[in-house]
């Protein structure tokens, strides 16, 4: 298969799957989509960013109607069928007051990049009913999902040097349940995943062409877009910077440090500027302390707790949204865990057979993951004191590119060690496809029967 054909195949799979899920998932999904859609509506209808105030949710009358009539009957009741659409009675869409909103809500403090692209889709369907406008914004997320899978294809091709490996990483990105889901509803994580995948694809390209400026330009664009989609992407920058230093030259060369600093400087500047703009609302949010939690109590009851670790970093990473029966069934988590265990065993047994860059990848991925966990828990403690939990498994998904490369490397080492008759990582891709298909089929039966 040619490089171009492989690229079109991955993009086509992402488009078909994303559009189907955007159509299938009941509107609006869970607690988050209404707030993100309200942010989009604010920009599209009024041309202004949301108002920034602590703890507010002043949605448009249309948004409130969608929530009360379509979401609330299903929240925590996934056995209930989706309400018939002919029973949905939104406010008159020709009345400007029906669309009026301050945008002030849980999503208001996020930067506008994702919401601006959603506003373009919204404006295309501006004369349509509210559900059709919501679907149009979902298609904007699908576009970001396509970008994620295309970057995943480039990541695999540039890292391994073969089209079939580009296809493999592209399929893994397309069928990662949580990434696919959030790239089919209104959620700014869709843009974050694309930017994260693009950043690590740039590093893989830099490995192939360490003296070229083009990979660094791609890294600069994707990292800047990342923080303008979700500021927490700044947490990944130490990993990006360290990898860029190693892949572009040497830690001992001043020129490598200067190139890396110049590459990430625009993103850091964008983060600082947006933080200064949104800082008052975030400060007010964190200053409303309602719960006293000591560090020791936090570690005992919130960090080193087996069931919470499993729920957040296993189920929450792969797919455990839980509001509308989108969580995977328990046996599927066991199957994924078994394949990850085989990847780990393969890495250990075949360590001597791994080339230096593969060993570096495994160590780097482990370090980046532990660093990410430590930072997320450090952020959760002050947030927890406001009465809210913070960490979710999906917050590690920006480094899914590293995880995907490491899983493929480990399963391939396992296959070589035991002389498998097929390329072992494709088994993992097939399992994700089966899980994805089963979840979609179950949703069709539960919601629309």
Number of domains in the chain: 1
Q: Per-residue pLDDT averaged across 268-286, rounded? A: 78
Distance between CA 207 and CA 156 in Å, rounded?
12
Q: In the structure, what pLDDT confidence band is assigned to residue 147 with cuts at 50, 70 and 90?
A: very high
Per-residue pLDDT at 67:
86
Within its chain, how far is the Cα of 89 from the centroid? Answer: 33
Q: State pLDDT tens for residues 285-325.
A: 555 555 676 777 777 777 888 888 888 888 889 987 654 55
Q: State pLDDT tens for residues 61-97.
A: 998 998 888 887 777 676 677 777 778 888 888 888 8
Per-residue pLDDT at 384:
67
* DSSP letter string, 200-241: HHHHHHHHH-TT-SHHHHHHHHHHHHHHTT-GGGGGGHHHHH
Q: State pLDDT tens for residues 183-211.
A: 999 999 999 999 999 999 999 999 999 88
Per-residue pLDDT at 219:
95
Distance between CA 180 and CA 176 in Å, rounded?
6
Domain span including residue 180: 3-448
Per-residue pLDDT at 52:
82
Contact 328, 318 (CB under 8 A): yes
Closest CA to 350 of 407, 422, 417, 412: 417
The structure's pTM equals: 0.92
Distance between CA 273 and CA 287 in Å, rounded?
21
Q: In the structure, what pLDDT confidence band is assigned to residue 280 with cuts at 50, 70 and 90?
A: low
Q: Per-residue pLDDT averaged across 396-405, rounded? A: 94
Average pLDDT of the chain? 87
Q: In the structure, what pLDDT confidence band is assigned to residue 380 with cuts at 50, 70 and 90?
A: confident
Per-residue pLDDT at 133:
94
């Amino acid at each position: 298969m040619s490089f171009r054909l492989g690229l079109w195949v991955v993009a086509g799979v992402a488009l078909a799957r994303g559009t189907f899920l955007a159509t299938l998932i009941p509107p609006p999904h869970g607690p988050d989509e209404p707030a993100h859609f309200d942010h989009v509506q604010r920009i599209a209808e009024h041309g202004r960013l949301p108002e920034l105030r602590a703890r507010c949710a002043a949605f448009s009358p249309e948004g409130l109607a969608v929530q009360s009539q379509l979401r609330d009957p299903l929240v925590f009741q996934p056995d209930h069928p989706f309400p018939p659409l002919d029973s949905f009675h939104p406010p008159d869409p020709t009345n400007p007051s029906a669309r009026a909103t301050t945008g002030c809500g849980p999503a208001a403090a996020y930067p506008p990049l994702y919401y601006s692209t959603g506003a373009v889709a919204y404006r295309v369907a501006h004369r349509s009913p509210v559900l059709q406008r919501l679907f149009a914004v979902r298609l904007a997320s699908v576009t970001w999902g396509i970008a994620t899978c295309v970057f995943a294809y480039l990541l695999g091709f540039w890292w391994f040097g073969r089209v079939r490996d580009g296809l493999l990483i592209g399929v893994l990105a397309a069928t990662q349940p949580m990434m696919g889901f959030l790239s089919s509803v209104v959620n700014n994580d869709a843009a974050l995943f694309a930017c994260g995948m693009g950043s690590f694809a740039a590093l893989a390209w830099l490995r192939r062409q360490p003296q070229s400026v083009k990979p660094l330009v791609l890294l600069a664009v994707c990292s800047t877009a990342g923080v303008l989609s979700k500021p927490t992407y700044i947490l990944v920058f130490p990993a990006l910077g360290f990898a860029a230093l190693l892949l572009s030259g040497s830690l001992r060369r001043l020129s490598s440090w200067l190139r890396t600093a110049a590459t990430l400087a625009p993103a850091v500047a964008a983060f600082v500027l947006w933080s200064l703009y949104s800082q008052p609302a975030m400060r007010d949010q964190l200053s409303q302390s309602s719960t006293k939690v000591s560090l020791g109590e936090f570690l005992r009851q919130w960090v080193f707790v087996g069931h919470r670790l499993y729920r957040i970093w296993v189920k929450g990473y792969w797919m455990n949204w839980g509001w509308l029966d989108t969580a995977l069934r328990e046996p599927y988590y066991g199957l994924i865990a078994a394949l990850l265990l085989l990847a780990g065993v393969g890495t250990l047994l075949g360590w001597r057979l791994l080339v230096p860059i593969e060993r570096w990848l495994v160590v780097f991925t482990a370090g980046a993951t532990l660093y990410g966990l430590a930072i997320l828990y450090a952020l959760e403690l002050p947030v927890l004191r406001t009465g809210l939990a913070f960490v979710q498994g999906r917050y590690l998904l920006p480094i899914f590119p590293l995880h995907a490369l490491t899983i493929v490397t480990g399963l391939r080492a396992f296959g070589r060690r035991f002389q498998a008759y097929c390329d072992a990582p494709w088994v993992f891709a097939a399992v994700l496809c089966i899980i994805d298909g089963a979840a979609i089929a179950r949703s069709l039966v539960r919601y629309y029967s």
